[in-house]
Amino acid sequence: MPTIAFIMQTFYGDAIGGAERQVQILAQALRERGWRTLYICERQAGKPARETVQGMEVLALPVRKKREEWRNFRLLQEAMEQSRADLFYQRVRMPYTGLAARSAGRLRRPFVWAAASVADVVRDKDLRRAGYPTVPLDLMLRPLNRYLEDWGIRRADAVILQTDEQCRLLERNYGRLGTVIPNHVVVCEDLAVEKRHPPEVLWLSNIKRFKRPELFVELARRCRDLELRFVMAGATYQQDMREQIEAAHAELPNFEYMGPLEPAASEKRIAASTVLVNTSRFEGFPNAFQQAWCHGVPTLSLGVDPDGVIAREGLGSSAENLDGLEADLRRLITDPAAREAVGQRARRFARTNYDLADLLPRYLSLFEGLIRA
């Protein structure tokens, strides 16, 4: 029985984001193929040091700020050794990338690093921190942490990218090649949900500054003349952003903030919506895009179009500015026939290209080849 250990900052059972959800789905599929799966991550005090959650063995590390992940190096080494894994997989560029690569090398086990965003393969700036206040300690430790991140990416036995664009950035910035395996979804029959009335325009993501949620609020404000419901769902950890969103919830009769949703509830909400909107400054390949397309829901994006698939395949639109996004929404809402045609194309495209049942053999070929080597 081959064993894989996933190394992440957060356990999907504690707080889930796109990267955690991708690992959760992949691990379940691997277990169904006879693999043993472990998950090494930070967990709050009070959680067991080791437990099994729905087939996943979870090994806990102390919670650290990202700038201080290096303090877990010894504990990470011990957890990786205890896992007896044949292969280690770490997703998202962070100091753990280098720490895990070093430990995997010491254990003489292959190490796979996977990008979760364009930000992971851009070296000259930290796109995720744009808009946040500068903390002196972050600046002081930044050279060490960037060294760990870059060293781990260069030393990985294999690198998995979500898009061809990320593959080009990896080669340009790190001088190495990667393997493109798109984000995956578990394709199921259409959920037995009815479209909501009035039609729902959905924004679904963990709320961060680079996601620009304020632009979705402004879109709702501009479209008060339309019979639409604008719904925002996702966790937010910045008090000022939460206050702004809650103020919009109180002010705008056509806007609602739901807070975070569990994966199953997110899927149902997407399936019941009429349009999915993304306002992020940058992305990797949003899980919500693929879920929406699987359920025939068009996507409207403000500049994000992974490898140009939205424009090329006619899955919605990617506008250059808020005026364009508003125009695209009005056009789609007032033309049901066009909206239905987009939805049908999206459903066919997603189920042909992103079904994990079709992508899993590519993972297995890569992982098994590394283990044999």
- Which three-class secondary structure string do you get for 202-225? EEECCECHHHCHHHHHHHHHHCCC
pLDDT digits (tens, 9 = 90+) for 154-173: 999 999 999 999 999 999 99
The DSSP secondary structure of 27-45, one letter per residue, reads: HHHHHHTT-EEEEEEE--T
pLDDT values of the chain reduced to their tens digit, one per residue, 373 residues? 999 999 999 998 887 788 999 999 999 999 999 999 999 999 998 899 999 999 999 999 999 988 899 999 999 999 999 999 999 999 999 999 999 999 999 999 999 999 999 999 998 777 676 666 778 888 888 889 999 999 999 999 999 999 999 999 999 999 999 999 999 998 776 565 778 889 999 999 999 999 999 999 999 999 999 999 999 999 998 899 999 999 999 999 999 999 999 988 999 999 999 999 999 998 989 999 999 999 999 999 998 999 999 999 999 999 999 999 999 999 999 999 999 999 999 999 999 999 999 999 999 999 999 999 8
pLDDT for position 202 = 98
pLDDT for position 256 = 97
pLDDT for position 28 = 97
pLDDT for position 136 = 86
Instruction: Give strand ranges (E) for the chain.
Output: 3-10, 36-42, 50-53, 56-61, 87-91, 111-114, 158-161, 179-180, 200-204, 229-233, 255-259, 275-278, 299-301, 316-318
pLDDT for position 57 = 97
pLDDT for position 307 = 96
Greatest Cα-to-Cα distance within the chain, rounded to the nearest angstrom? 63
Distance CA 283, CA 190 (A): 26
pLDDT digits (tens, 9 = 90+) for 91-125: 999 999 999 999 999 999 999 999 999 999 998 77
pLDDT for position 190 = 58
The DSSP secondary structure of 129-183, one letter per residue, reads: GTTSPP-HHHHHHHHHHHHHHHHHHHH-SEEEESSHHHHHHHHHHHS---EE---
Using alpha carbons, select from 322, 332, 301 the residue that is nearest to residue 218.
Answer: 322
- Give, to the nearest 10 degrees, the angle between helix 336-353 and helix 287-294: 110
Q: Bridge-partner residues for 59, per DSSP?
A: 40, 50
Using alpha carbons, select from 10, 60, 4 the residue that is nearest to residue 33.
Answer: 4
Determine contact, residues 321/150, Cβ cutoff 8 Å: no
In the chain, the domains with their CATH numbers are 3-184+355-372 (3.40.50.2000), 200-353 (3.40.50.2000)
Distance CA 104, CA 81 (A): 9
pLDDT for position 334 = 95
Determine contact, residues 254/224, Cβ cutoff 8 Å: yes
